[in-house]
Chain A
Amino acid sequence: MPHFFSNKRLIILMVSIILLVAVIGFSTREREELTLPEQFVRDAVGVGQNVFQQPANMINGVVDTIRDIRYVYEENQVLKDRLDEYAMVASERDTLKQENATLQEMADAEESLGDYVTRPALVIHRSPDQWTETIGINKGSQDGIESGMAVITPEGLIGQIDRTSQFSSTVQLLSDGDPSNRVSAMVHTEDDPVYAFVEGWDEEREGLLLRKIESEAEVEEGQLVSTSGLGGVFPRGLTVGEIQEVGPDEYGLTQDALIKPVADFYNIEHVRVIEREAQNLDEQLLDEVEIDDEEDEEEIEEVPLEEGAGDP
């Protein structure tokens, strides 16, 4: 590095370090939207990534198909057995659906937190070093994607939309360690559901952390965890995973649990972005109702927190 240690160069180095700090400072503050150049670069590179990803997906699909062919016979046997079961479940579901509809009509419930529309999208990139657990998808704000929407694979929830640009957006996976990355969730127990938050990934035990569970709640291994729909734009009832371990948190006031996610975070190709309908049914009504709604939601959300904190 003979060319490096001269005065002029040291000054340039200093200036660039100062610039670095300034740029980091600018970008780490809470930003609502990406700046225009950022959006442009993301979209432009997104086109290239799309071109790369499409044939790769096709080849991957062919390889998978060939692999699957070997198991077709066994699978067929199992599926035949389950077909009878399916008919029964389907008829049961229809009755339940009807019943639910009538009950909802009776209760005058116009909208449910469980209603949503989905938009399919293709994964176009993933950060190579995975310091941040984000993936890029090929749908953006032009397709109606907004920041905060839930993203699922057929198995279950994988994350939420982090940033959108015009034709692409990034998804923050549930496994991302960012402290702002939390999802309001509920545990299906035999009685009422227990509400808590999914907060990040436990590196050592390899699972999602479910925190702020009320200390009296009877949460056990094997129970299902899904989104509660209370914390903003997520709909209710998207499966997150299964409880693996339960224990008191570091202060002993609430309980923590380890969730084994149902979705695979590593081989993601196709995802669905979910938009809850409950919020945008009536645009005009919304203005009046919004304030009340928000207050309600916050109250519900904070209940487990406060009760937990109040415990001796």
Chain B
Amino acid sequence: MRYLPFLIVFTLFLIEGTWYQMVVPHPLENGWMLIPRFTIVTLIICAIFRGPVLGMFYGLSIGLLYDFIYTDVLGIYMFSAAFTGYLFAFKLPQVQRSFVWILIVSMLGFSVFESLVYVLHLSIGTIHLSGEVFFYHRLLPSLGLNALLAMLLIYPMRKLMRYLKLREQSRDEAV
């Protein structure tokens, strides 16, 4: 049960690379790229409830998977995901209580992650895409897509997180 959040993140990771690729054409006809970052969004939601250290470890492991499976260059995703997971772990009651705050924080996290990956790729020369094209054709459309997903996930994830917390508390009391 404790590892359920991670299993969810991992399943989303698999979906990003398989089902999603079959459903959504790439790029869309108007040149937009809808990049699914379901893992990052979910990871940040988890981190908001469980703190920065967990965010960092989730980020490290998911980033490692990205690095190993999709690229030859190691480190880019690992660093970016761990960094975002740690940075956007706003473990504050105000944030946890509000749907809008969680949405805003996770979207901020997504943007930072995506930009970080873009800048790192650019600096080692694997891609040559201008910042403007990146911003308008990739970041903004993907932000929309991931916001949609976040809206779907925030309620069930919050429920799960609260349930896990309750379980832990009751176990502590029992001990």
Contact = CB atoms under 8 A, between A and B. Distances in A.
B35 interface: yes
Nearest to A38: B68
Interface stretch (A20-28, A108-116, A287-295): A20-28
At the interface, is chain B mostly helix, strand, loop or mixed?
helix
A188 interface: no
A131 B68 contact: no
Nearest to B73: A27
A266 B20 CA distance: 12
Given A31-B72, A45-B65, A56 B19 contact: yes
Given A1-B87, A128-B37, A178-B126, A53 B18 contact: yes
A126 B90 CA distance: 32
A48 B121 CA distance: 27
Interface in B16-36: 16-22, 25-26, 33, 35-36
A16 B68 CA distance: 18
A118 B51 CA distance: 51
A272 interface: no
Nearest to B52: A3
B69 A45 contact: yes
Interface stretch (B75-83, B96-104, B148-156, B162-170): B75-83
B75 A128 contact: no
Interface string B29-71: 0000101110000000000000010000000000011001111
A48 B14 contact: yes
Contacts of A163: 72
Interface string A49-74: 10011001100100000000000000
Contact of A52 (B15, B64, B129): B15
A164 to B, nearest CB: 12
B69 A125 contact: yes
Given A4-B87, A177-B127, A23 B74 contact: yes
Nearest to A57: B22
Interface string A98-139: 000000000000000000000000001111111110101000
A162 B49 CA distance: 40
A163 B52 CA distance: 35
Contact of B117 (A49, A52, A131): A131
A42 interface: yes
Contacts of A19: 75
Interface in A239-269: 266-267, 269
B124 A24 contact: yes
Nearest to A23: B75
Contacts of B171: none
Contact of B76 (A24, A52, A60, A134): A24
Contacts of A3: 52, 89
Contact of B82 (A16, A131, A269): A16
Contact of A1 (B19, B65, B90, B129): B90
- Going nearest first, the 7 A-B pairs with the smallest beta carbon separation are A23-B75, A125-B17, A127-B70, A27-B74, A52-B18, A41-B68, A128-B16
Interface of B: 14-22, 25-26, 33, 35-37, 52, 64-65, 68-76, 78-79, 82-83, 86-90, 114, 117-118, 120-121, 124, 126-129
5 contacts: A20-B75, A41-B69, A52-B14, A56-B19, A126-B21
Given A41-B64, A129-B117, 4 more contacts: A3-B89, A19-B75, A52-B15, A128-B37
